[in-house]
Amino acid sequence: MIDAADAFDVWWGWPPPVLDPAGPYAHSVTVLAWALFALGVIVTAIVALAVFVAVAGPPRWKARLGGEKAILILGVGFPAVVLTGLLVWGLTLTASLTDPITGREPRIRVTAHMWWWDVEYLDAAGRVVRRDANELHLPVGRPVVLELGSADVIHSFWVPNLSGKEDMIPGRTNLLKVQADRPGRFGGICAEYCGGPHALMGYVTVAHLPADYDRWLAGGNVSSGPANPQHVPGAMPASARRTPAGQGTADPKAAPQDGEALFVAHGCAACHRVAGTQANGLAGPDLTHVGSRLTLGAGILPNNRGTLQGWITDAQALKPGNRMPAYGNIPAADIAAIALWLEAQE
Amino acid sequence: MLAIAMAMAAALTTACKPPPPSRHDPDAAAVARGRELVRQTGCGACHAFPDIAWPQGRAGPSLVTFDEHGPIAGVLPNTPANLAAFVRDAPVAKPGSPMPAMPLSPREASDVAAYLHGLADD
């Protein structure tokens, strides 16, 4: 039995941080939620008091409670005023969540797959400047427009700290504005049942200071904060060094420690793309920047050498039903070399 | 009289070195820290543990019955120091081990070793 608390504990804790807004689109909803809760408490108290008076109150109070005036005030006037006020508040708030897109916001296209997320950062002309997966980087303090779509079934995008849920529907692009007002890491999860390992379909949103974000988008490496660093002791073995594009050998016997050649030879490249190499598959997550990601398996495992080897060897044991087969047939030394090479793909 | 007794007590406490950490009686606080480290580091991506429901990877040996294991990885004497060295940097502790170096400081590695030695599946 897989408990979502185990899967996401490292990033979120459980339950999801719905009452800890980190941006305006989540904050207004949280305020409304607390207001509704407080009103509910007040109304329940009034009703309980009225029941008490009706059953055990003095006769004079009972008569007043049953009078026409009390019914008009408490039964008609009070609900009409409160409910109308809430309706206006709720509708204007909902409208503000989808306030007009100016076209100047950074755009990120997020496409859901069973059971991972394809993430493309677009420039002003709509060209893809950086492609990544299972991780969403945002600049702090400005709204970002997400183009949400799906490659297969209906999924739902949800970062509790930043916004409400937004469906991701095949054949349709839903726009969602999000904004983070403080740097940090915010967990996300698929919020619409999408089959099999739906509960293990997550991601991490990383909000950077604007300068850091620009550096990150340009391909630079930016520390995403001190929490849970996955630092491996010792120097990286030479086999982990990235081979310049086009210099890798495709024959694994010629260079048994060449992770790139092994990655291609064992067929990983049929599903995964690593920019600048022969690996050009599109069925699985893009691994061009896998070494810099915080998680593996779509937000469910910390990313380090050990979890990477464990995932490649038997992803089905970790995320049953996902579309990556178990590769127990590949020699452990080859998997270790592939993992080392992937770790260097930042 | 009192001074002599105090001197003797001081001599006794300084003369006796604390025993080396034993695999049979790990420190409870270290065990708890080690368990949390095992969860955060994702050791379950390759190994099954008796008290961790998920993940239970199959790439490495199951550690559910670790209390009955003999030598570490079949070769190293099963001491806390050896186990700590192995979980931190297996390829150095046992050349040829398919288990990679893990993101643990030496202190964290000894907490993980304490957790492993504290495992009991029965």
For residue A331, the distance in angstroms to the closest alpha carbon of chain B comes to: 10
More confident residue, A40 or B16: A40
Q: How many domains does chain B have?
A: 1
**Across chain A, what does the average pLDDT equal?**
85
Looking at residue A249, its pLDDT comes to 43
Looking at residue B74, its pLDDT comes to 87
- CB contact under 8 Å between B57 and A310, yes or no, is yes
Q: Does A9 score more than 60 pLDDT? A: no
Residue B69 placed within a domain? yes
Pick from A1, A300, A305: CB nearest B100 = A305
Residue B78 placed within a domain? yes
Q: Does A239 score more than 50 pLDDT? A: no
Which is nearest to A178 in space by CA: A141, A215, A126? A141
Phi and psi (nearest 5°) for A344? -85, -10
Q: A240-343: what CATH class?
A: mainly beta
How far lies B104's CA from each of A4, A156, A228, A340, in Å?
A: 25, 36, 11, 17
- pLDDT > 70: what percent of chain A? 85
Looking at residue B54, its pLDDT comes to 87
**Average pLDDT value for residue range A294-307:** 88
**Average pLDDT value for residue range A180-187:** 89
Looking at residue A74, its pLDDT comes to 87
Burial (0-12, 13-18, 19+ Cβ within 10 Å), A262? buried
Q: Which residues of A touch B39 (CB under 8 A)?
A: 6, 9-10
A81: confidence class by pLDDT, cuts 50, 70, 90: very high
Q: Nearest chain B residue to A335 by CA: give it.
A: B98
Q: How many CB atoms lie within 10 A of CB A47?
A: 11
In contact, A301 and A318? CB cutoff 8 Å: yes
Looking at residue A229, its pLDDT comes to 46
Phi and psi (nearest 5°) for A185? -115, 130
The two three-digit tokens of residue B87, written as one number: 């979980």
How far lies A248's CA from each of A240, A268, B55, B80, in Å?
A: 13, 15, 34, 42
Domain that holds residue B108: 22-117
Q: Does A139 score more than 90 pLDDT? A: yes
Q: Does A236 score more than 70 pLDDT? A: no
The two three-digit tokens of residue B10, written as one number: 């001081």
Our measurement of the distance from residue B120's CA atom to the centroid of its chain's CA atoms, rounded to an integer in Å, reads 13
Owner of token pair 């069925």: A283
Q: Does A171 score more than 90 pLDDT? A: yes
Looking at residue A241, its pLDDT comes to 44
Q: Does A86 score more than 90 pLDDT? A: yes
The enclosing domain of B29 has a CATH number of 2.60.40.420
- The 3-class SS string of A21-87 reads CCCHHHHHHHHHHHHHHHHHHHHHHHHHHHHHHHHHCCHHHHHHHHCHHHHHHHHHHHHHHHHHHHH
- CB contact under 8 Å between B98 and A332, yes or no, is yes
Cβ-Cβ contacts under 8 Å for A307 (sequence gap 6 or more): A296, A301, B41, B42, B45, B46
Q: Does A247 score more than 70 pLDDT? A: no
Looking at residue B19, its pLDDT comes to 66
ipTM above 0.90, yes or no: no
Looking at residue A240, its pLDDT comes to 46
Phi and psi (nearest 5°) for B94? -135, 95
Cis ω before B55 (30° cut-off from 0) = yes
In contact, A340 and A332? CB cutoff 8 Å: no
Domain ranges of chain A: 240-343
How far lies A235's CA from each of A102, A152, A232, A288, B100, in Å?
A: 48, 42, 8, 22, 12
State how far the Cα of A64 lies from the Cα of A86, in Å rounded to an integer. Answer: 29
A256: confidence class by pLDDT, cuts 50, 70, 90: very low
Q: Does A253 score more than 50 pLDDT? A: no
Q: Does A39 score more than 90 pLDDT? A: yes
Of A41-50, A152-161, B69-78, minimum mean pLDDT range: B69-78
Q: Does A5 score more than 80 pLDDT? A: no
pLDDT tens, per residue, chain B with 122 residues: 556 766 666 555 555 676 666 777 788 899 999 998 998 888 999 999 998 888 999 999 999 988 888 899 888 999 999 999 999 989 888 988 899 988 888 899 999 999 999 887 55
| Best residue in B51, B54, B86 for a mutation probing chain A (most A CBs within 10 Å) | B54
Q: Does A227 score more than 80 pLDDT? A: no
State how far the Cα of A202 lies from the Cα of A186, in Å rounded to an integer. Answer: 11
**Average pLDDT value for residue range A200-205:** 90
Please report how the helices A305-313 and A332-343 are oriented relative to each other, as an axis angle in degrees rounded to 10: 130
Which is nearest to A175 in space by CA: A116, A113, A122? A122
Decide if B103 touches A, using CB distance below 8 A: yes
